[in-house]
Amino acid sequence: MPYNCRHCGGTYCGDHRLPENHSCSGLENWNDPKGVFDSGFDDNVNSGGSTSRASGLMDKLPIDTGPGGPLAYFRGNATYTFLALMWLTFFCQIVVGRVFGPELMQTLFVLRPYYPQYVWTWVTSIFAHGGFMHIVGNSIVIFFFGPLVERYVGSRKFAILFLASGVLAGLGQIGIQIIQTPTVMPFTPGVVGASGAALAILGVLTVLNPGLKVYLYFILPVPIWLLTAGYAFISVAFLSTGGGGGIAHMAHLVGLLIGLGYGEYVKRNRNVSAPNQLQFGGGGPGGPGGPGGPGGRRRF
C-alpha cells in the first residue's frame, strides 16, 4: 500500500515510508524546534535550508505550528482538517442563526439559486449542514473513506478533489433547480452539505477497487460498487421524476461522476491498490441519501 509522507508530501512504498528511508527533505528541520514540515498541500518543498511557501504561511500564524504543536495532528491529514472545518462551520451556523437571524445565516452559508453571485457560499455551503444527523452522516463517510483516497493521491490533490467536487456539486444542484423551477424566488431552497465531496471520494475508491467490502451500518457486507450504484440509481430516479424530497440528488450525482472520472485517471496513471475490507456506518439519516433539511435548504 502506498504511503504519503506528511513531511515532504511524497508517496512511497512500505519499505521507504519512513523519512530516513527516502532522503526526506523535511529531515533537516527535525531537530529545529521552530521547524515546520510540509503539510502535503504544497509539493514544492525546497532543500538546502530554504523555506517552502506553505511553511512561510504557517510561520505567520500566532500559534505553534511546528512538530508537537497543537496543529501537528492535521499536517498531512487534509481529511481531518476538512472534518474539523465542517463541525466548526456547523457551530458558526447555529450561533449566527440565533444571534443575527436566519437570513444572515443563509447569506453566509447557503448556496441559493436566487443568489448564485454570492461566490463565498460556493465554498461555505460545502462545510455547512442542515442538521446534526446530516453532518454526522457525512462525517462518517469522509472519516472512513477520506484517508484512503488521501493516502493514494496525496493531501494536496485530495484537497483539490474535495473542494472542486463540493463546489461543482452545489452549482450543479442549483443549476437543475433553476431549470426545473419556472420562477426562482429568494425563498427557493438552497443547498448545504458535503455529500457531493463525500460521493466523489466514494467514486474514486469504487474505480480503484470495486470489490472493496463495506460493512453497511457495521453489519451488512456489500461491495463498494453496489453502494455506488445504489446512490447513482436513486439520484437518477428522483431527477427523472422531478422529485427529491428535499435531497440534493443532482449534487450527489455530480460529485459521484467527478469521483469516478478522477478515479479512472488515477488508476491509469498510477499503480495503486486498496484494502479488501472496510467498516462503514452508512449514510444514515441526513447523510448521503438522507432526508432533506428543514428551513428551506436541500441537504447533500
Q: What is the CATH number of the domain that holds 174?
A: 1.20.1540.10
Sorting pLDDT into bands at 50, 70 and 90, what band is 6?
Answer: low
CA-CA distance, 2 to 274, in Å (whole number)? 9
Give the pLDDT mean for 138-153. Answer: 90
* Strand 297-299, strand 3-4: pairing: unpaired
| Structural domain contains residue 169 | yes
Does the pLDDT of residue 127 top 80, yes or no? Answer: yes
Please give the residue range of the domain that contains residue 120: 76-269
* pLDDT tens track for 70-89: 555 566 689 999 999 999 99
CA dist list (Å): 239 to 43, 111, 181, 196, 254: 40, 19, 13, 16, 12
CA distances for 193 relative to 118, 143, 212, angstroms? 17, 15, 26
Q: Are strands 213-216 and 220-223 parallel, antiparallel or unpaired?
A: antiparallel
119 found inside a domain: yes
206, part of any domain: yes
User: What grid cell was written down for 136?
Assistant: 454526522
H helix or E strand, kind and range, residue 179? helix 155-180
DSSP per position, 73-104: GGTT-HHHHHHHHHHHHHHHHHHHHHHH-HHH
pLDDT for 280 beyond 50: no
pLDDT digits (tens, 9 = 90+) for 147-190: 989 988 888 999 999 999 999 999 999 988 888 777 777 777 88
* Domain presence at residue 247: yes
Mean pLDDT lowest among 1-15, 30-44, 149-163? 30-44
**The pLDDT of residue 106 is above 80:** yes
State residue 63's pLDDT score: 56
In this prediction, residue 67 carries a pLDDT of 53
Q: Is residue 125 part of a domain?
A: yes
For residue range 206-262, what is the model confidence (pLDDT) as tens digits? 998 888 888 776 678 888 888 888 888 888 887 766 655 677 778 889 999 999 999
DSSP 220-261: EEEEHHHHHHHHHHHHHHHHHHT--TTB-HHHHHHHHHHHHH
Report the pLDDT averaged over residues 114-134. 92
Question: Mean pLDDT over residues 26-47, rounded?
Answer: 44
176 assigned to some structural domain: yes
Look at the chain and report how many structural domains it folds into.
1
220 forms beta bridges with 216
- Taking each continuous run of H as one helix and of E as one strand, the counts in the chain are 9, 7
- State the chain's mean pLDDT as an integer: 75
Structure-model confidence comparison of residues 49 and 128, the more confident one: 128
C-alpha cell at 81: 482538517
Residue 211 lies in a domain: yes
Are 246 and 193 within 8 A, CB to CB?
A: no
- What number of CA atoms fall less than 13 Å from residue 275's CA on the CB side? 11
Q: Is residue 199 part of a domain?
A: yes
Which percentage of the chain shows pLDDT scores above 70? Answer: 66
Q: What is the pLDDT of residue 100?
A: 94
What are the grid coordinates assigned to 116, written together?
448564485
In degrees and rounded to multiples of 5, residue 222 shows phi and psi of -135, 150
A 10 A CB-CB count for 270 gives: 12
